[in-house]
Amino acid sequence: MLRIAIVEDEKECQASLIEQLSRYEKEHSDNFIVRTFFDGIDILDDYTSEYDLIFLDIHMKHQDGMTTAKKIRMLDSSVIIVFITALAQYAIEGYKVNALDFILKPVVYEQFEGTMDKVLKTADKYRKSKELIVSDDGSKRKIDTDDIYYIEVVGHIIVIHSKSGVFETRSKSLKAIADDLKEYGFIQSGQSHLINLKFVDKIKGDVVTVAGEELFLSRSRKKEFIAAFGDYVGMEI
């Protein structure tokens, strides 16, 4: 299931994109969750890394799409951005924010379909997930790796920090968990932390910011971590 945001100040274009997405869902047996915004300011208000794809209009009344994209990239390095524009020349600017593609107005389904094919191919590596069993108030529950910010070891206890809260497990060592979750975008930043690259906001010096929280990045793992992060977001760092 792809989580999509449409940021477009023209109601007609918004409606057209929703219609195209609905058609694509039916023809490709896919499933989308779609949310709409009328300006870049709106989506940035209390932004969280919940979207897989953002359709972003270049020209909007209060905050233009390029400015919005730059601010989104400061908060979310992995979300896929596709620009919507009436002028093809603006598409060049998209490379500065690692945009995947652009769609010309008025939206034509054949072009839209090609863009969505690229989006889904790119999104495959982000949508991989599995479930872990954790302790929750004396009982056991499942938690999806897609919702985990990072995992740390405290003494002999594995502590999982996630969207749903903080949970514990004693099932495996951190190294064993790291081996299991490597293909799902997790990598160690040191001996005590295993980080989901999806939620990395920033890397600076010996600190990596994950979902707003600063964690230590060891010197011995820094090169590997930065390389893995660059590979994850699809660009060389």
Domain boundaries, the chain: 2-127, 131-233
What is the pLDDT averaged over residues 126-142? Answer: 70
**Tell me, what amino acid is at 126?**
Y
CATH of 2-127, one of 3.40.50.970, 3.40.1390.30, 3.40.50.2300, 3.40.50.2000: 3.40.50.2300
Lowest mean pLDDT among 30-44, 111-125, 188-202: 111-125
pLDDT of 44-95, one tens digit each?
988 877 888 999 998 887 888 889 999 998 888 778 999 998 776 665 666 6
What is the pLDDT averaged over residues 182-186? Answer: 86
pLDDT of 11-54, one tens digit each?
999 999 999 999 999 999 888 989 999 999 999 988 877 888 99
CATH 2.60.120.620 fits 131-233, yes or no: no
What is the pLDDT averaged over residues 131-154? Answer: 82
Residue 236, pLDDT score: 44
Residue 115 has pLDDT above 50, yes or no: yes
